[in-house]
């Protein structure tokens, strides 16, 4: 009996190798589509978006969670690059900043055509898979990037935006963010305002995915009920396992199931374990929980690489995805469930959003009410109640007329 004990470590090693090998086999033809990566913002912080700086070479880039060798090692075949502008740009230069970050993503594709293929459709993702490239898509992280303008929203769609996160960690004039649920922000719209509802309808019309990461629970429920297409949470985890309000509670997961929507699990330690430390196994727990509550079709990955300061042990960068897939296989996920989480679920949602798209339908045109806009530097052109400069000059002359008349008689 004692002679058999030495076999157990060997069996464990061989079993681990088996699951890792199986993960790589599956990922060779079903690579992972990650819902959220902040490398474009990191390139702004590190190099002021100067991609030709030799230190910014994505083949050798150091000090980041993401570079080309790491993407290849992690079998990343699709990436929604986050086009992010901080909340302090709201009512200031957010549109300019958003355009600059879109430009970074597009230049990444131009500079590294053997690695990245910029696409804007589900079929484009499949084409990139066939070519062995990383399908590169644009997700705009924060509704403040449209500056409360349906025209800006449509322009961003033309530039390639294929999901819009309705808020970041700040309210917009038309949607409430997750800090409302912590008490750190006041509720402004009680979810979605009437204009916020028009934003959702316009996103449906265009075929842009609605992203509910960062929004309040009321906003989640409003959008899930209003949208004619499935929605996504591009980088959120399960509230039942970590009670951060950035995560998705079980009653919302039930709505996710009903609406055939998708939660792409975030790897940030504080949203995984609610502490500064976390492990790969705890991330797998979140995936298990979402699968158990909302179904295997509701599970995806949104690592938030290069957007967070702390990542779980075993998931230190994008190269570690095969280890996470191996753990799911070890937990008896079927191959079909794994392939769905890797790519199939996102592709299903994207295709459903594209099916709802109707560019022949008249666009939403009613602007946000003037009194709901914020920011003291705004002009008021286009609002019928707002006098034009010419009209203001006329009013000034009219008000001066009695005084001029008095001066004439003097």
What whole-number distance in Å separates Cα of residue 301 and Cα of residue 259?
Answer: 19
Task: Determine, yes or no, domain membership for 364.
Answer: no
Going by the DSSP 8-state scheme, the letter that residue 302 receives in this structure is -
Which residue in 155, 179, 173, 175 sits closest to 165, CA to CA?
Answer: 175
What whole-number distance in Å separates Cα of residue 266 and Cα of residue 311?
Answer: 10
Q: Which residues are catalytic?
A: 36, 38, 141, 168, 214, 235, 304
Q: Answer whether 239's CB lies under 8 Å from 290's CB.
A: no
What is the structure's pLDDT at 6?
54
What is the structure's pLDDT at 391?
42
Task: Determine, yes or no, domain membership for 397.
Answer: no
What whole-number distance in Å separates Cα of residue 158 and Cα of residue 154?
Answer: 6
The per-residue pLDDT string of the chain (410 residues; one tens digit each, 9 = 90 and over) reads 444 555 445 445 556 689 999 999 999 999 999 999 999 999 999 999 999 999 999 999 999 999 999 999 999 999 999 999 999 999 999 999 999 999 999 999 999 999 999 999 999 999 999 999 999 999 999 999 999 999 999 999 999 999 999 999 999 999 999 999 999 999 999 999 999 999 999 999 999 999 999 999 999 999 999 999 999 999 999 999 999 999 999 999 999 999 999 999 999 999 999 999 999 999 999 999 999 999 999 999 999 999 999 999 999 999 999 999 999 999 999 999 999 999 999 999 999 999 999 988 999 999 999 999 988 788 889 887 554 433 444 444 444 444 444 444 44
Q: Tokens 């702004």 appear where?
A: 44
What is the structure's pLDDT at 401?
47
Task: Determine, yes or no, domain membership for 184.
Answer: yes
Task: Determine, yes or no, domain membership for 7.
Answer: no
| Beta strand segments in 96-155, E | 116-118, 134-141
Residue 96 structural domain:
32-358
pTM of this prediction? 0.91
Task: Determine, yes or no, domain membership for 214.
Answer: yes
Task: Determine, yes or no, domain membership for 164.
Answer: yes
Q: Answer whether 263's CB lies under 8 Å from 291's CB.
A: no
Task: Determine, yes or no, domain membership for 386.
Answer: no
Q: What's the CATH code of the domain at 146?
A: 3.20.20.140
What whole-number distance in Å separates Cα of residue 168 and Cα of residue 144?
Answer: 8
Q: Answer whether 84's CB lies under 8 Å from 143's CB.
A: no
Task: Determine, yes or no, domain membership for 2.
Answer: no
Report how many domains make up the chain.
Answer: 1
What is the structure's pLDDT at 14?
54
């Amino acid at each position: 009996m004692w002679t058999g004990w030495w076999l157990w470590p060997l069996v464990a090693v061989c079993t681990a190798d088996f699951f890792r090998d199986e993960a790589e086999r599956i990922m060779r033809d079903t690579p992972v589509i990650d819902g959220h990566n902040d490398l474009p913002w990191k390139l702004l912080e590190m190099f002021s978006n100067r991609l030709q700086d030799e230190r910014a070479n994505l083949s050798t880039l150091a000090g980041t969670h993401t570079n080309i060798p790491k993407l290849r090692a992690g079998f990343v075949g699709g990436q929604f690059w986050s086009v992010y502008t901080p909340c302090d740009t709201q009512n200031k230069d957010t549109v300019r900043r958003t355009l600059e970050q879109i430009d970074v993503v597009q230049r990444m594709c131009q500079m590294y055509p053997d690695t990245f293929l910029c696409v804007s459709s589900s079929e484009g993702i499949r084409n990139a898979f066939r070519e062995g490239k990383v399908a590169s898509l644009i997700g705009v992280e924060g509704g403040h990037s449209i500056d409360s303008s349906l025209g800006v929203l449509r322009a961003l769609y033309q530039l390639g935006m294929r999901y819009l996160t309705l808020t970041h960690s700040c309210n917009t004039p038309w949607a409430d963010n997750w800090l409302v649920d912590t008490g750190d922000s006041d509720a402004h719209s009680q979810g979605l305002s009437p204009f916020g509802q028009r934003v959702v309808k316009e996103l449906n019309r265009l075929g842009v995915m609605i992203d509910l990461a960062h929004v309040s629970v009321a906003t989640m429920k409003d959008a899930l009920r209003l949208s004619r297409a499935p929605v996504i949470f591009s980088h959120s985890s399960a509230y039942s396992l970590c009670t951060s309000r950035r995560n998705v509670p079980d009653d919302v997961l039930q709505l996710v199931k009903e609406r055939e929507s998708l939660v792409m699990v975030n790897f940030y330690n504080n949203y995984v374990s609610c502490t500064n430390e976390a492990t790969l196994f705890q991330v797998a727990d979140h995936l298990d929980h979402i699968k158990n509550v909302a179904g295997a079709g509701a599970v995806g990955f949104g690592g938030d690489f290069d957007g967070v300061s702390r990542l779980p042990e075993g998931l230190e960068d994008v190269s570690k995805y095969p280890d996470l897939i191996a753990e799911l296989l070890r937990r008896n996920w079927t191959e079909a469930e794994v392939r769905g989480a890797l790519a199939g679920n996102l592709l299903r949602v994207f295709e459903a959003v594209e099916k709802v798209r109707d560019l022949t339908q008249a666009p939403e045109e009613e602007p946000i009410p003037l009194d709901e806009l914020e920011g003291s530097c705004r002009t008021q052109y286009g609002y019928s109640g707002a006098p034009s400069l010419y009209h203001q000059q006329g009013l000034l002359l009219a008000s001066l007329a009695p005084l001029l008349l008095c001066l004439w008689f003097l």
